Structure 1
Amino acid sequence: MSRMEKYVVQGFTCAHCASQFENNVKQLPGVEEAEVNFQASTITVIGNVTKKDVEKEGAFENLKLYTKDEQVETKSLWSQSSTWRTLISGLLLLSGFFVHGVWGEELLAILFYASSMVIGGYSLFLQGLKNLFHARFDMKTLMTIAVIGASIIGEWGEGATVVFLFAISQMLETYSMERARRSIRSLFDDTPKQARTWRNGTWIEVDVEDIMVGDRVMVHPGEKVTIDGKVIKGASTINQAAITGESIPVEKQSGDPVFAGTLNEEGHLEVEVTKLNEDSTLSKMIKVVEEAQSKRASAQAFIDRFATVYTPIIIVIAFAVAIVPPLFFNGIWLDWVYQGLAVLVVGCPCALVISTPVSIVTALGTAARHGILLKGGIHLEETGKIETVAFDKTGTLTNGKPVVTDIWLANEEKEAEFLTIVASLEQHSKHPLAVAVVKYVDEKNWNNDREVTNFHSETGKGISGKIDGISYYIGSESFITQVSEFTDHTQAVIQQFKEEAKTLMILATKKDVIGMIALSDSVREESKSIVSALHHLGIRNTILLTGDHERSAQVIANQVGISEVKANLLPNEKMSYVQSLRDSGRHVAMVGDGVNDAAALATANVGMAMGGAGSDVALETADIVFMKDDLSKLPFAIQLSRRTKTIIKQNITLSLVLKLLALLLVIPGWLTLWIAIVADMGATLLVTLNGLRLLKGKKVHSNKQSDNALN
């Protein structure tokens, strides 16, 4: 009977290698189907075959397989041999440049260059030559021909430089992908593996995989919820940031849903399980992230596509030039073989190969100087196509922490007296609202340590205590209605604050309401100007996607100038909405910061994460990370991308035109090796200098016209 096994794969360096591994496994006897997910670094095999047999098919890349129960061996960037080979290759290249500059390109300089090429690119050459043998023309084939061609014409330094740049890009791509995979796998490590479950009349520890729908589990204060369910006993506040992204904990009482991975902050909860562990919201989020990444078609670089046509054409043309005139037009064999060799030299795609990397590397360096981390050239290119930007709210457009916005007093009480009473009662609470109020009072240097007696906390509702013999109550509207009555005026004020999407803390005695404090998540100072800058760049479609309620979301959208709002969204709904935008033909960027944004970040054409506040998974899933939570870099990233795309097109056109002009000299028989060398070197130099123009990228100031951003 056939079985399905899923293995974690360690050692992938490129998508082509993953595809080759998949094809090798499919040809194994007993394998019915095999599918590799390169982004998640997994392979799923259906059939009757052992792990050892599957692993042998990846020997060409030294791949290792791990089952879900095995600990995956992790290696740092500096412990990998490829890193040290690249560094040694770079040192040899620099040594070659030095020797070349002092004594000329003599034997010693050539030895340094050749050593740099061999150490940095021997695996590239092996695969490239194998591809040539099997008539496969991909990027490695193109790189191999470029380096061999450079060596033939004596451009050892140029060939070694191309190898070194390619080795660096491969090393960084491998490192970035492995970090992303480890981060996704670590999500399960952050959730409890066992839950306190009611079985046979007592509470016992049970593995979460063995918990069934309908079981009852206990969650103590400070513990994470182990599995999706609904509260059947107790009350508490739950920090749902891991699921909804909202910073303010949500009150949970009997009948309310709770999600695996969220944090129980205060009370004891008894929860009835409504979903199996593999069906929990968190488990689905992890699965969605992996699937979204695997579904995203990796856009083949233009050079890769063009190489499948360009390289064989050049070989055929060179061969034809060498033999056709002597055979059919009485040409002199020696002259036309020389012309054919010149065609091979001029056709050497050094300039074409370097036309894109030199622009990408320069742009990535410029972006890094301005606090933008781009995880590869493809994401830089995709950013230039963006026409719709979707934002998460909390921690992205807002600061993610509640702050005091309004103080309302029912009578003539002094504000200082009112706030010191509230702060004295709340100073021992860790609830975010209480922390915000105490901080507000501390900043005013008011006394907040008045003696409190008979203190009592009703979990998830409010607190009470006596100060100077008077009993005070602090809490939400529903809590205070059980203690005191609201006047019509007080009710009107509460309604006004609700319409402004603010959270209330009400102070009252049993006689009357004394006052209330309004809090809300504060909008980042730069959010409005960033949205305005995007509109000026021609990006008219800006959308707010949030798990918060409609009223709060609309208030934030109005403040920053966002044109469309989608509220009350769960993570999978954010992802579905982003996918619908892509299906309609739009190029979408998603800007977020939390675990709940990871699926949407992976689904968008370009996923962008806020650096400091972002969760690990969001950061690793995103294609672009704004360091230090600086959203003002978004317009700069878009403009840099657009200019990079323009320069890449210029470089490709320039390199091909110069090659074509040189090849046209074959017709009158004027092409010589010297002309071929000059054409090749000239094209390489021009595309390099053109790419380096991206170093002039200047920082965007969001309050200025965007056309001042890059000069």
Structure 2
Amino acid sequence: MSETKNVYRLQGLSCTSCAAKFEKNIREIQTVEDVQLNFGASKIAVVGEASVEQLEAAGAFDGIKVFPDRQKLTEEKIPFWQKRENKNTMVSLFFLLFGYISSFTAGESSPATITIFALSILIGGYDLFKVGLKNLTRLEFDMKTLMTVAIIGAAIIGEWGEGAVVVFLFALSEALEGYSMEKARQSIRSLMDIAPDTAIIKRGKQEFEIAVEDIQVGDIMIIKPGQKVAMDGEVIKGQSSINQAAITGESIPVHKATGDEVFAGSLNEEGFLEVRVTKLAEDTTIAKIIHLVEEAQAERAPSQQFVDKFAKYYTPAVMIIALLVAVIPPLLMGGEWPEWIYRGLAVLVVGCPCALVISTPVAIVTAIGHAAKNGVLIKGGIHLEETGRLKVVAFDKTGTLTEGKPEVTNIASLSNMSKNDILAISAAIETFSQHPLASAILRKAAKEKAAEYTAEDFQSYTGKGAKAVINKTVYYIGSPKLFEEMLSIPEDVQNQITDLQSQGKTVMLVGTQEEVKGYLAVADQVRKSSLSIIQKLQKLGVEKTVMLTGDNQATGKAIGTQLGLSDVKAELMPQDKLEAIKSLREQYSKVAMIGDGINDAPALASATVGIAMGGAGTDTALETADIALMADDLEKLPYTIALSRKTLNVIKQNITFAFGLKLLALLLIIPGWLTLWMAIFADVGSTLIVVLNSMRLMKTKYN
């Protein structure tokens, strides 16, 4: 088996049925082993051997052009009315109007009128007939087959005018569908244009402008004020405000200095920077976002799978119903043949599933593209739909609801030792520790200019604390549990500890084996926005908000009360978080887990929807989560759920409206109230309404 896989970008892919036919034609190429067509992103992946010429031949029926994925497309912007097929539609309309004028002056059956209508049909329907007649000979029934049969039938029974109206309105419907998908795809194209194609690279004392594809990891990139960053990298010289809204959706520029990470596509606002390139062009964060969004648009959502499956059986069923309507009344009930053939043709026209087929993909593609522009990466239609059905949202505490940067809030001496000494001894021991609380103590010691002691013989007690020798005395720092194993903690000290813990603080005692010398209290600060976010989620209809934390019960409960959470599960190990998510899923079915995507990976994977924060900085978050909030900003969560719920509603509205209108029109055909042109007008109208309804998703506000 050949493993050659080539990805191509497509131009001119106009409709879902055309996409399915294009894919089928490529599968028939003998050297091709597999094909995956991504209609939303207008891309195709071909496993096996096939030349661009062969692929274009497979798409010749729709004028599809094929380009290698890596080739930079300088896409020609052709105004809507200047496209060849749309020009034909306008010429067809001219002859249609001229034909109706002729029918009033020369009569409907005059050769001149018939000739004018026939010209309207041939010019407007040339592309349609080319495909429809070929499909008919192969007994392939799709929208174009239905239309071809209906128009030819109308001409045979002398309804030339109505046939011309059907051709024009169908061509208009196809143009609108193509236009709407193009608008939806533009959100991805705008992402692709964010990062520059070239960058200024410094080698030695010389500077060169180089194409991003030729830049290597380790190259030094020069970024002047007002320039866009071309590659991901690390600042090695200078400082500036960087607007990274295109990547993370953050509206406020972020200050960057030596050692900070910058992303391709972000804008350097004021300072001069030298940046060491850390990723190749195809591995940058923006490249990954584009790839993941395109993959997301290729993945069919459950409602789309249903519609696609339904349409497969629906079109042949419409053909059979139309045949029965045309034949049974004249044969068995003495009906007039022309009248019932006309009604059968109306069934064909009204049965055209354009609006139904486009109802889901246009909504999904629009929503995913809109979210990406707002710094939310949704990795598929299925995750978008599942987010719209969420009943429970579970949060990791550290770095999600809180800042993830603990601070020392209290220092107390319980002996003749000064507070400064308590802090200095704590800092000396914690110098050797990797625990997040240790960094809080070291920051506080540096800020307070505490005395510097040298600690020796450091030893850690996992989950409890540590000890070290300072000035020939063995000092301990750790949880109350560690000291309870060595000595009896006085009751008044125990009360102070309990009081601090009830405020959500972690207490660390400092002392020797014989005496508690003092203590420090450390708290992870709750994010300012967390309370309003929880309230927004409750307004959106989320039934339960749960915090999962490894902290003690008192700390967890204090934060839970402060934020108005429904439930708090504390003192959890990573495997306990996983069990908590499984338990919530059993109770509520649809559960989201929000974390940083690293230590929460098992729980994220187990949830109905795993949502990672700070995706722009971590590859793990982009890979493990179903949705990544690119900024380290929980504010995007209510927006994501609101967008998903709105998308679900739009899809339901689209399907109900498209199907309901078909049903109503079919019922009107039986008494003969629905004419051919009214049937196609209803179809065009429903397609247009479905498209406009889906475009409303672009108005979903972030805040």
| 2:633 paired residue among 624, 630, 642 | 630
1:316 Cα offset (Å): 1.7
Letter in 1 for 2:174: G
**Equivalent-residue separation in structure 1 for 2:582 and 2:320 (angstroms):** 44
Aligned to 1:159: 174
| Partner Cα separation in structure 2 for residue 681 and residue 671 of structure 1 | 15
Q: Which amino acid aligns with 1:515?
A: G
Evaluate the alpha carbon distance shift between residue 146 and residue 513 of structure 1 in structure 2; reply closer, same or farther with a 3 A threshold: farther
- Quick check: 1:373 aligned with 2:374? no
Any idea what SS the aligned residue of 2:390 has?
coil
Cα distance change on mapping 1:482 and 1:346 into 2, 3 Å: closer
Q: TM-score, normalised by structure 1?
A: 0.56
1:350 CA drift (Å)? 1.3
Whichever residue aligns with residue 359 of structure 1, its letter is A
Are 1:396 and 2:400 an aligned pair? yes
Q: 1:462 to 1:12 in 2, by over 3 A?
A: farther
Q: Which SS does the other structure have where 1:153 is aligned?
A: helix
The answer to whether the Cα contact below 8 Å between 1:83 and 1:171 also exists between their aligned partners in 2 is no
Structure 1: 5+ residue stretches without partners:
1-7, 14-55, 66-80, 136-140, 174-296, 701-711
Change in Cα spacing, 1:134 to 1:683, as seen in structure 2 (3 Å) is closer
Q: Would you say the 8 A contact 2:650–2:693 is kept in 1?
A: yes
Q: Is the CA contact (8 Å cut-off) linking 1:146 and 1:159 kept in structure 2?
A: no
- Look up the match of 1:465: 470
Matched, 1:351 2:351: no
Residue 597 of structure 2 is matched in structure 1 by 594
Q: Which has the larger radius of gyration?
A: 2
Question: What percentage of residue pairs aligned between the two structures are identical?
Answer: 41
Is 1:317 equivalent to 2:318 in the alignment?
A: no
Match of 2:437 among 433, 438, 442: 433
Q: Does residue 554 of structure 1 match 2:569? A: no
Match of 2:314, as an amino acid? Y
The residue aligned with 1:519 is 522
Query: What residue in structure 2 maps to residue 639 of structure 1?
Result: 642
Q: 1:487 to 1:573 in 2, by over 3 A?
A: closer
Deviation at 1:153, TM superposition (A): 3.2
Which segment drifts farther, 499-508 or 310-319? 499-508
User: Which residue identity is paired with 1:587?
Assistant: K
The answer as to whether partners of 1:149 and 1:348 remain within 8 angstroms in 2 is no
> For residues 533 and 465 of structure 1, do their structure 2 counterparts lie closer, same or farther at Cα, with a shift above 3 Å needed?
same
Offset at residue 362 of structure 1 (A): 3.5
Give the secondary structure class of the aligned counterpart of 2:528. coil
Query: Matches of residues 120-519 of structure 1 in structure 2 within 5 Å?
Result: 153=167, 155-156=170-171, 158-159=173-174, 162=177, 299-301=302-304, 302-304=306-308, 306-307=310-311, 310-329=314-333, 333=337, 336-410=340-414, 415=419, 418-419=422-423, 422-423=426-427, 426=430, 430-442=434-446, 444=447, 446-448=448-450, 450=451, 452-453=453-454, 455-460=456-461, 461-466=466-471, 473=475, 475-476=477-478, 489-497=492-500, 502-508=505-511, 513-519=516-522
- Structure 1 residues 529 and 483: CA distance shift in structure 2, 3 A: same
Q: CA deviation at 1:331?
A: 5.1
Helix, strand or coil for the counterpart of 2:83? Answer: helix
Shift of 1:315: 1.8
Q: Are the aligned partners of 1:484 and 1:510 in contact in 2 as well (CA < 8 Å)?
A: yes
In the aligned structure 2, how far is the partner of 1:12 from the partner of 1:582?
38
Q: Quick one: distance in 2 between partners of 1:313 and 1:642?
A: 33
Structure 2: runs of 5 or more not aligned: 9-30, 37-44, 49-64, 94-120, 152-163, 189-299
Instruction: Return closer, same or farther for 1:85/1:93 CA change in 2, 3 Å cut-off.
Output: farther
Q: Is the 8 Å Cα contact of residues 662 and 675 (structure 1) preserved in structure 2?
A: no
Aligned-pair distance for 1:457? 2.1
1:513-536 CA-partner distances (Å, limit 9, x unpaired): 543222233332222332233333
How much does 1:475 deviate? 1.9
Render the CA deviation track for 1:137-191: whole Å, top value 9, x for unaligned.
xxxx789989999998354564366468779999999xxxxxxxxxxxxxxxxxx
Distance 1:644 1:586, change over 3 A: same
Q: CA–CA distance in 1 between the matches of 2:501 and 2:579?
A: 30
**1:653 to 2:656 alignment:** yes
> For 2:408 and 2:90, how far apart are their aligned partners in 1?
73
Q: Aligned to 2:568, what secondary structure does the other structure show? A: strand
Secondary structure in 2 aligned to 1:364?
helix
Corresponding position of 2:257: none
TM-score scaled by length of structure 2: 0.56
How big is the alpha-carbon RMSD for the aligned residues of Structure 1 and Structure 2?
A: 5.5
The partner residue of 1:607 within 610, 613, 616 is 610
2:611 counterpart letter in structure 1: M
Paired amino acid for 1:98 = Q
Count residues in correspondence. 499
Counterpart residue number, 2:96: none
Q: Deviations over 1:63-98 (max 9, x none)?
A: 879xxxxxxxxxxxxxxx988589999958956643
Query: CA separation in 2, counterparts of 1:548 and 1:143?
Result: 63
Q: 1:106 to 1:328 in 2, by over 3 A?
A: same
Measure the CA separation in 1 of the matches of 2:302 and 2:86: 44
In 2, the alpha carbon distance for the partners of 1:148 and 1:325 equals 20
| 1:402-429 deviation line (CA, Å, top 9, x unaligned) | 3212222236866556545654665576
Contact residue 549 and residue 567 of structure 1 kept, 8 A: yes
Task: Specify the SS of the correspondent of 1:590.
Answer: strand
Confirm or deny that 1:691 pairs with 2:684.
Answer: no
CA distance in structure 2 between the partners assigned to 1:89 and 1:623 by the alignment: 30
Secondary structure at 1:609's aligned position in 2? strand
Q: Which residue of 2 aligns with 1:98?
A: 82
The separation in 1 between residues aligned to 2:632 and 2:388, in whole angstroms, is 21
Contact 2:506 2:522 in 1 (8 A): yes
Give, in angstroms, the shift of residue 550 of structure 1: 4.1
Q: Which amino acid aligns with 1:527?
A: S
Equivalent residues of 1:145, 1:349 under 8 A apart: no
Is residue 677 of structure 1 aligned with residue 680 of structure 2?
yes
Q: What corresponds to 1:666 in structure 2?
A: 669
| Corresponding position of 2:291 | none
- Say which SS state the counterpart of residue 628 (structure 1) adopts: coil
Q: Match of 2:525, SS?
A: strand
Secondary structure of the 1:390 match is strand
